[in-house]
A and B are shown apart, each in its own frame.
Chain A
Amino acid sequence: MSGVTLNNVIKRYGETQVIHGVDLQIEDGEFCVFVGPSGCGKSTLLRMVSGLEETTGGQIHIGDRDVTTEDPARRGVAMVFQTYALYPHMTVQENMGFGLKMNGYPKAEIDAKVAEATRILKLEEYLKRKPAALSGGQRQRVSIGRAIVRGPEVFLFDEPLSNLDAELRVEMRVEIARLHKEIGATMIYVTHDQVEAMTLADKIVVLRKGVIEQVGAPMDLYNDPDNKFVAGFIGSPAMNFLKGTVAKGGKVDVPGLQTSIKLPVTLPSEGTAVEVGLRPEHLVVDRNGSTHRVELSESLGGVSYNYLVSDSGEKIIVEERGVDRSAEGDVVGLKIDPESARLFNADTEMRIR
């Protein structure tokens, strides 16, 4: 077992550079999740760790070994693909044992390891079937089984659950979490899904345009984002951003709230344009106020999301729970806890702490 270290890793396709010098340390046994908008280079970075994509510059270490130019076969990694990539002409059993067979393991040992993985993933019934005769969830389990059997140092997952329906996704997510506990290997996991990232990760890496925006534990990213991008990306529904200006007396004028708030931060000079970030769950609807109109209300049962518009035209999403909720068309006010607000420089988008 061993961690993964990326040192100033760069990827270029001809002239276009897609990964711009990434430094990252993933500890032994850690569950690391890459998130970021589509096209930001998550898959590319993962494939560079696997060796399927050449590394243009920098070094990749797995444990103490420099694997930057090593073949995928010799890196000690296993990969689970979004499309499962099972071998269609082999049975489930042969699929799982293929890697060991190619590496010349004796048959008895292969059978034992396949049996072990089969037990972990509850695949006993399907051992003799071909992939075509399995459901999507079963196929993905087989493909995870194929990875387990090889006993790799690092597991790589590229959006493994995105082809499954919602219910199965939850089930498999729990399964992967359990697997990580049971095996304890280092895992790198690429996903679009907020929930997967928040629940599975020990460490989340937020990428944008081939650059790491922030690395940290899920709740650290959520509570203490370094910049506006991370603040907006982590959390669903996304954080609200309202324009503001630094005013006299250590206050910030926020026209969207028709008020000034005093924040516990070191403010920049007076007149600086800032953005105030407020999470939907930190805002409270004030029935006695009259600063905002409820334009749309989405009720999901236990929680409602109200889309409010201020007089200045800025949109704010507010979460509401409980029995008494506001309806579309209501005119309401908002109560803010300054402690929960996050302040960002409007030009650099960096956090003001």
Chain B
Amino acid sequence: MSTAVKDRKPLGLKIALWAFVSIWFVCAAFPFLWTLWGSFKVELDFFSIADWTNAIFGRNTADTYGRPFTGAGYDGAFVQEGFFGNAINTMIVCVCVVTISLTIGTLGGYALSRSGQGYVFWLLITALMFRALPQVALVSGYLPVFFDWNVWGYLPTAIIVLVAINQPFTLWMLHSFFESIPKDLDEAAKVDGCTQFQAFRHVIIPVMWPGVITTGLFSFLLAYNDFIVTSLILNEGNRTMVPQIAAFLGTTYTEGNVMFAVAAVVSATVPLFILVMFFQRQIVSGLTAGAVKG
């Protein structure tokens, strides 16, 4: 049936569609592919001023290492600079942020969606307002206190701040997922002998699963990609990947190694691809929230 409908489209439209999709795909994928390719070259090639095709064919790389490809960037980042430690820090931060914000978010979102009180709306609006503030405004407010209390520089501090910044969003999102689940389900469970919490645990959460996964993924991405909070709060020894990549790039005062940064960027991007591929079905069904009909 659906193929029959597709086949009826005029040829011109089909060509236009394909052209559009191809162009979009190239535009979207090109930076990644370019960086991936370039990460196996030396800086002189990748950032060649003389001839941009050097970045593709790797002439200088071949001069230095005898082959047009080299793992020097990765070697430098991981072996020399210990980027692996940064990756582990990122994992710790992400897992903690996702766990904490999902725990608070599901419980809170459920409670808000089932309370029926007038203040729920204002609570959510307030939460949204905090989310709308520039993060740097919040973090700079925290900083003096953290110095005072001597907690600056550690992972748990960054985790708490990220959870705080992230929570309004998770709460908001999970709340709307819970709203879409008919209250009849809770009530049926309660008549069936559940307490409110058992109804939540045995009936609502299993139905909510796609929503929880989607929200968890967004929290994960926020924690994973965060630069402002982690770069301002973590000290050099506790850096996560993103601030470390920034450090590789160097500043006006410190010398960096751009190829380390490029290799690190590629290493940091790959897990995201894998993650999204892995969860794509849940994400789609979570984003179309109507999927959780009784």
Complex contact B198–A72 (CB within 8 A):
no
Complex contact A85–B187 (CB within 8 A):
yes
Residue of A nearest to B206 (CB): A89
Shortest B201–chain A CB gap in Å is 11
A interface secondary structure, majority:
loop
Binds B, one of A21-29, A95-103, A287-295, A344-352: A95-103
Complex contact B184–A87 (CB within 8 A):
no
Q: Is B194 an interface residue (CB 8 A)?
A: yes
**How many angstroms from the CA of A180 to the CA of B91 in the assembled complex?**
60
Binds B, one of A57-65, A75-83, A297-305: A75-83
Complex contact B187–A88 (CB within 8 A):
no
8 A Cβ contacts from B148-195 to A: 182, 184-185, 187-195
Q: Is B203 an interface residue (CB 8 A)?
A: yes
Q: Is A50 an interface residue (CB 8 A)?
A: yes
Complex contact A77–B182 (CB within 8 A):
no
B193, B194, B198, B207: the one within 8 Å of A89 (CB):
B207
Complex contact B184–A83 (CB within 8 A):
yes
A73, A86, A146, A150: the one within 8 Å of B190 (CB):
A73
**How many angstroms from the CA of A103 to the CA of B198 in the assembled complex?**
12
8 A Cβ contacts from B250-294 to A: 292-294
Which residues of the partner chain B approach A81 to less than 8 Å between Cβ atoms?
Answer: 184, 187-188
Complex contact B192–A73 (CB within 8 A):
yes
Q: Is A52 an interface residue (CB 8 A)?
A: yes
**How many angstroms from the CA of A73 to the CA of B191 in the assembled complex?**
5
Q: Is A84 an interface residue (CB 8 A)?
A: yes
**How many angstroms from the CA of A89 to the CA of B207 in the assembled complex?**
6
**How many angstroms from the CA of A314 to the CA of B206 in the assembled complex?**
60
Bin chain A's interface residue count: 20 to 34
Q: Is B14 an interface residue (CB 8 A)?
A: no
Shortest A88–chain B CB gap in Å is 6
Q: Is B67 an interface residue (CB 8 A)?
A: no
Complex contact A73–B294 (CB within 8 A):
no
Complex contact B188–A73 (CB within 8 A):
no
Complex contact B193–A103 (CB within 8 A):
yes
Which residues of the partner chain A approach B188 to less than 8 Å between Cβ atoms?
Answer: 79, 81, 85-87, 146
Which residues of the partner chain A approach B189 to less than 8 Å between Cβ atoms?
Answer: 87, 98
B interface secondary structure, majority:
helix
Q: Is B202 an interface residue (CB 8 A)?
A: yes
Counted as pairs of residues, one from A and one from B, with CB atoms less than 8 Å apart, the total is 68
**How many angstroms from the CA of A79 to the CA of B184 in the assembled complex?**
10
8 A Cβ contacts from A90-145 to B: 98-99, 102-103, 131
Residue of A nearest to B181 (CB): A88
Which residues of the partner chain B approach A83 to less than 8 Å between Cβ atoms?
Answer: 182, 184, 294
Shortest B289–chain A CB gap in Å is 14
Shortest B129–chain A CB gap in Å is 28
Shortest B118–chain A CB gap in Å is 10
Complex contact B294–A86 (CB within 8 A):
yes
Q: A52-B190, A72-B190, A102-B202 are in contact. Are A85 and B185 (CB under 8 A)?
A: yes
**How many angstroms from the CA of A99 to the CA of B199 in the assembled complex?**
11
Q: A88-B207, A89-B207 are in contact. Are A102 and B194 (CB under 8 A)?
A: yes
Complex contact B191–A77 (CB within 8 A):
yes
Which residues of the partner chain A approach B187 to less than 8 Å between Cβ atoms?
Answer: 52, 72, 79, 81, 85
Residue of A nearest to B190 (CB): A72
Q: A85-B182, A85-B185, A88-B294 are in contact. Are A99 and B207 (CB under 8 A)?
A: no
**How many angstroms from the CA of A52 to the CA of B195 in the assembled complex?**
12
Complex contact B294–A84 (CB within 8 A):
yes
Q: A73-B191, A81-B187, A146-B192 are in contact. Are A88 and B182 (CB under 8 A)?
A: no
Complex contact A98–B192 (CB within 8 A):
yes
The 4 A-B pairs with the shortest beta carbon distances in the complex, nearest first, are: A85-B184, A99-B192, A85-B188, A102-B193
Give 5 A-B pairs besides A81-B187, A86-B294 with Cβ atoms closer than 8 angstroms.
A51-B191, A71-B190, A72-B187, A99-B191, A146-B192
Would you give 27 A-B contacts (Cβ < 8 Å), ordered by A?
A51-B190, A51-B191, A52-B187, A71-B190, A72-B190, A73-B190, A73-B191, A73-B195, A77-B191, A78-B191, A78-B192, A81-B184, A85-B187, A85-B294, A86-B294, A87-B185, A87-B188, A88-B207, A88-B294, A89-B209, A98-B189, A99-B193, A102-B193, A102-B194, A102-B198, A131-B294, A150-B193
A: residues with CB less than 8 A from B are 50-52, 71-73, 77-79, 81, 83-89, 98-99, 102-103, 131, 146, 150
